[in-house]
Amino acid sequence: ITLHQLRRVVQVARDKCGQWHDTAPPAYSKTSGKTLSMDFVNLYHINNWIIMPATLVDKCAMVELLAQVAQPPRWFVSHWWGECV
């Protein structure tokens, strides 16, 4: 995913997060059940509210929906999903 594409995803989160809530059980999330805010939105929330719904029908990767042409990865970065976006 390019920086531009990532920024598009973050903008959707900014625009919509006030309409979403944390669906994680209380045992897994301090914000369980709360309305989301960009103050604490993380990749678990982005995955639940943006990525999974967007990729469900075509069963594809999110980058396939964001890219206009084939976009093979150059490298892989692993990180913890729980930090704020």
For 16-73, the pLDDT digits (tens) are: 999 999 999 999 999 999 999 999 999 999 999 999 999 999 999 999 999 999 999 8
Q: What is the DSSP string of the chain?
A: --HHHHHHHHHHHHHHGGG-B--S-TTT-TTTTSBP-TTT-BHHHHIIIIIHHHHHTTT--HHHHH-SS----S------TTSB-
Neighbours of 49 (CB within 10 A): 21
Q: At residue 75, does pLDDT exceed 90?
A: no
Average pLDDT over residues 2-25: 96
